[in-house]
């Protein structure tokens, strides 16, 4: 049967979605903190937020890279 | 005959496109993340790109479900014609009636019905059907829903802000998710291209194999991929306008963070299963995700009666399209006159439904699938919140348990399904009392 493949799909879905959501949420949170008043180092927080967004984008691109058969040949 | 079938297949691809634009783009349009015009253009472009990315699903459709080649039975273009007729008619009927349904299952149902009526029961590869169509249909929405639930929880947990001293809530500032939705909904459109355009490619390849112009067991040719990609892109683009014109308030209860989580899980579920060659329904995955993300947000409850209605629609799709396909196959088997009658009747029915939809009131439109899933998720009153949370927890554990059961042996699945159905029925009166 295909239980193993089904499990693979479930696992891959969970890992991919959780990674993207976690990174993006951290980015959103850091942006929010950076925008706060009386914040000691908004610049650092903001750049960290952008780092999170960037990593999130990279994760998506890496996922696509794994899927597209053109690259794995 | 081959040309006719290819034209019909491309038309099916077109209907598939406008049926499913809502899956990807309804949420960001509703939350105001993207302008409607930009959204459909984006969706169309990404469908086009997605169609070129992977051809795993096309291979599933073209090879396996119906036994082809030397050792199996000979399927003719006529059978495929009948199957497509069944799929298109069922697609149009459900679209007109506003019944949420899956274009993919309509396609498989039509083909199976036509093969059984035209050739016999031996022509359908039941094991492959079960493994590659039925099982994913049951599990894909569950997986997507569960993942969406986890992701929504995660997103809210990571962005909830409290004052460290007083413990009172600060402004949450989750506006960033609205921008994120642009990207996630694009991913869903891309995933839709990799999965749904493949199905038509598979059909055309099946026709070419049946007509003897292509060797059995080979993948789709390049011009087939290109034609299907463009058909689904055009369908997506034109379908979008109907949705936007009639897009109501159905999805406004889904917050950007929920939408972000739901779309991410939809896209990853579809892409992962496309990669492994499962031909699952984008509609079902998207609905599962929306419901899952609804359960993941505090103070939101799911309208199980609505979920039951959607599930019923899914249950009917396969046999109903199969019956139409079987009838067409019987008609086609009588000869050239039968084919002509079927073609004219089919075209007439499609045209009639199209003009009928023009006249009828707003609501008979293709956005209904996602919209109903959105309506199924509702913000609860304060009193009901505790109950909703308990329900969500119970549901999640029940799902996990059901999965474990089914892993052990496939049979009890039907029982748990029935139990879930009666559960849904039981909660309905309470819903109306409130």
Write out chain B in H/E/C secondary structure: CHHHHHHHHHHHHHHHHHHHHHHHHHHHHHCCCCCHHHHHHHHHHHHHHHHHHCCHHHHHHHCCCECCCCCCCCCCHHHHHHHHHHHHHHHHHHHHHCCCCCHHHHHHHHHHHHHHHHCCHHHECHHHHHHHHHHHHHHHHHHHHHHHHHHHHHHHHHHCCECCCCCCECCCCCCHHHHHHHHHHHHHHHHHHHHHHHHHHHHHHHHHHHHCCCCCCCCCCHHHHHHHHHHHHHHHHHHHHHHHHHCCCCCCCCCHHHHHHHHHHHHHHHHHHHHCCCCCCHHHHHHHHHHHHHHHCCCEEECHHHHHHHHHHHHHHHHHHHHHHHHHHHHHHCCHHHHHHHHHHHHHHHHHHHHHHHHCCCCCCCCHHHHHHHHCEEECCHHHHHHHHHHHHHHHHHHHHHHHHHHHCCCCHHHHHHHHHHHHHHHHHHHHHC
**Model confidence band, residue B75 (pLDDT cutoffs 50, 70, 90):** low
pLDDT value at residue B5: 82
pLDDT value at residue B362: 40
Count of structural domains, chain A: 1
CA-nearest residue of chain B to A50? B176
CA-nearest residue of chain A to B157? A25
Percentage above 70 pLDDT, chain B? 57
Asked if pLDDT for residue B333 goes beyond 60, the answer is yes
**Model confidence band, residue B399 (pLDDT cutoffs 50, 70, 90):** low
Average pLDDT, stretch B123-131? Answer: 68
pLDDT value at residue A25: 85
pLDDT tens by residue, B166-195: 555 555 566 677 778 888 888 888 888 877
- Domain range for A63 is 3-72
Asked if pLDDT for residue B403 goes beyond 60, the answer is no
pLDDT tens by residue, B269-311: 888 877 776 767 777 787 788 778 877 776 666 667 667 766 7
**ipTM of the shown complex:** 0.85
Residues of chain A contacting residue B174, judged by C-beta atoms under 8 Å apart? 28, 32
- Mean pLDDT, rounded, of chain B: 69
Q: Does A58 touch chain B (CB under 8 A)?
A: no
Nearest by CB to A68, which of B53, B158, B264?
B53
A67–B274: do the CB atoms touch at under 8 Å?
yes
What residue spans define the domains of chain B? Answer: 2-159+174-379
B176–A21: do the CB atoms touch at under 8 Å?
no
More reliable by pLDDT, A57 or B56? A57
B268–A17: do the CB atoms touch at under 8 Å?
yes
pLDDT value at residue B67: 56
pLDDT value at residue B367: 42
Q: Which of B77-91, B211-225, B390-404 has the highest mean pLDDT?
A: B77-91
pLDDT value at residue A73: 54
Asked if pLDDT for residue B138 goes beyond 50, the answer is yes
Q: Does A61 touch chain B (CB under 8 A)?
A: no
**Model confidence band, residue B319 (pLDDT cutoffs 50, 70, 90):** confident
State the smallest CA–CA distance between residue B394 and chain A in angstroms: 20
Low-confidence ranges of chain A (pLDDT < 70): 1-2, 36-40, 69-73
A32–B155: do the CB atoms touch at under 8 Å?
no
**Model confidence band, residue B417 (pLDDT cutoffs 50, 70, 90):** very low
């Amino acid at each position: 049967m295909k239980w193993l493949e089904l499990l693979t799909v479930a696992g891959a879905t969970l890992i991919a979605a959780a990674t993207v959501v976690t990174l993006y949420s951290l980015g959103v949170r850091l942006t929010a903190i950076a925008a706060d008043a009386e914040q000691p180092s908004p610049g650092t927080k903001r750049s960290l937020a952008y780092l999170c967004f960037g990593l999130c984008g990279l994760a998506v691109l890496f996922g696509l890279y794994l899927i597209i058969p053109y690259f794995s040949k | 005959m081959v040309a006719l079938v290819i034209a019909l297949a491309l038309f099916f691809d077109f209907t598939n496109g406008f049926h499913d634009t809502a899956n990807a783009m309804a949420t960001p349009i509703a939350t105001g993340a993207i302008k409607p015009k930009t959204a459909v253009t984006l969706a169309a472009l990404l469908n086009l790109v997605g169609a070129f990315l992977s051809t795993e699903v096309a291979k599933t459709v073209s090879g396996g479900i119906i036994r082809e080649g030397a050792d199996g039975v000979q399927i003719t273009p006529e059978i495929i014609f009948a199957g497509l007729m069944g799929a298109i008619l069922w697609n149009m009927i459900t679209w007109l009636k506003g019944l949420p349904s899956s274009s993919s299952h309509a396609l498989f149902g039509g083909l199976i019905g036509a093969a059984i009526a035209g050739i016999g029961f031996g022509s359908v590869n039941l094991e492959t059907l079960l493994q590659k169509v039925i099982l994913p249909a049951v599990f894909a929405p569950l997986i997507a829903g569960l993942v969406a639930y986890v992701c929504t929880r995660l997103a809210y947990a990571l962005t909830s802000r409290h004052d460290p001293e007083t413990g009172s809530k600060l402004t949450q500032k989750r506006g960033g998710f609205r921008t994120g939705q642009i990207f996630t909904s694009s991913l869903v459109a891309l995933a839709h291209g990799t999965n749904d355009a493949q199905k038509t490619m598979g059909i055309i390849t099946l026709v070419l194999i049946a007509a003897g112009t292509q060797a059995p067991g080979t993948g789709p040719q390049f011009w087939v991929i290109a034609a299907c990609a463009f058909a689904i892109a055009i369908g997506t683009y034109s379908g979008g306008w109907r949705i936007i014109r009639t897009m109501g308030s159905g999805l406004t209860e889904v917050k950007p963070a929920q939408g972000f989580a739901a779309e991410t899980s939809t896209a990853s579920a579809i892409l992962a299963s496309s990669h492994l060659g499962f031909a699952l329904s984008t509609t079902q995955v998207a609905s599962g995700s929306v419901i899952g993300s609804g359960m993941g947000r505090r103070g939101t409850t799911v309208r199980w009666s609505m979920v039951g209605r959607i599930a019923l629609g899914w249950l009917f799709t396969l046999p109903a399209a199969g019956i139409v396909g079987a009838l067409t196959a019987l008609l086609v088997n009588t000869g050239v006159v039968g084919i002509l009658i079927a073609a004219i009747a089919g075209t007439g029915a499609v045209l009639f439904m199209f003009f009928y939809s023009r006249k009828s009131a707003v609501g008979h439109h293709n956005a209904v699938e996602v919209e109903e899933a959105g309506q199924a998720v509702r913000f609860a009153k304060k009193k009901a919140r505790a109950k909703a949370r308990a329900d969500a927890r119970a549901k999640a554990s029940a799902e996990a348990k059901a999965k474990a059961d089914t892993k052990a042996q496939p049979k009890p699945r039907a029982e748990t399904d029935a139990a879930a159905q009666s559960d849904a029925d039981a909660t309905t009166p309470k819903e109306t009392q409130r």
